[in-house]
Structure 1
Amino acid sequence: MYKHALSANNQQIIIAKYITKYGSVNRYEADAIGVCHLAARIKELKYKGIIFNWVDEKVFDPHGIEHDRVRRYSFKYKAMNKGEIEKLNKLLGKS
């Protein structure tokens, strides 16, 4: 776990890298990697031009409590144009 709170921008980068590596993320996975308020970070990334898919799923939180309709986000690459892909790659440090 992280000792210090991460900036919103750093959390956006962490989320983008996590989705790139694992394919998707939900709020409990984001919490585990030090990202607070996943929905806010996704909204900020959308403002930057990143397009997302999402599904609502049933999950168990770290305490074993079941939750319905927890949103899982993934990139919607097919809907992104070249400029949007370039923005994502820049965020990921690939350009």
Structure 2
Amino acid sequence: MMASGRSATLYLGVTNDLVRRVWQHRNGFGGEFSSRYGCRHLVWFEAYDDLQEARQRELRMKKWKREWKLRLIEDGNPGWRDLFDDIVA
């Protein structure tokens, strides 16, 4: 999940290459929505071995209330740190 800042605009997506995709978002190549709203910070992610399972999770989460997404981020990343450095290390 990408965010423009703490409790700000959220972008939820799925990819088979998280490092590449986050780099794209951070550098303005993430797509129209994320570029328009400045969703450049990786604040939460889950890893899956099965891409279909990841897509199903994405579709379910896109139906979630915003409050639930915020709670998920707060539980795993209370400081809303940009997790990009964690995934490239």
* Band of TM-score, shorter chain: under 0.3
TM-score (normalizing by structure 1):
0.27
Give the structure with higher Rg (CA).
Answer: 1
Which structure has more RCO (C-alpha within 8 Å, separation ≥ 6)?
Answer: 2
Write 1 or 2 for the structure with the bigger share of strand.
1
The normalised TM-score by structure 2 is: 0.28
